[in-house]
Amino acid sequence: MNKKIIIGSDHAGFNLKNKLIQFIENKGIEIDDAGTYSTESCDYPKIAKEVAEKISSKEYEKGILVCGTGIGMSIAANKIKGIRAAVVSDTCSAKMSRMHNNSNILCLGERIVGEELAKDITEIWLNTDFLGERHARRVDMIE
């Protein structure tokens, strides 16, 4: 499995996505950008599907999606088998989405969380491991 991260956004998440790319690269983590590449209006389900399919196929281990609220990206990504996309707007949820739910896509809303909070959420999410055990049974039930 590729340890690189993949990130994508729509126009409403474009600015935060670019700030997160720089933040993640500064941590020494490789990250690929699935677009969009401007603030020109685009359809978020296409970006969510591309990122989710690449994670589902094990091309990438984890991904991040950013739109205005994170909700649309999450709904679209969760349509793909094997995806557990979590909309997160606080650090506790970031940690729990990894520990208990083994989320593999972090969804953020540029209009909801500020840049510094988004960086904190991202760092916690990337560095928190899945606990497994009873939680693995529950994640398996989702599948």
Active-site choice (11, 42, 100, 135): 100
Q: Distance between CA atoms of 136 and 105, rounded to whole angstroms?
A: 17
Residue 69 identity: T
Question: How crowded is the C-beta side of 30, counted as CA atoms within 13 Å?
Answer: 5
Q: How far apart are CA 62 and CA 24, in angstroms?
A: 13
Instruction: Check if 100 is active-site.
Output: yes
- The answer to whether residue 135 is catalytic is no
Q: Which residues are catalytic?
A: 67, 100
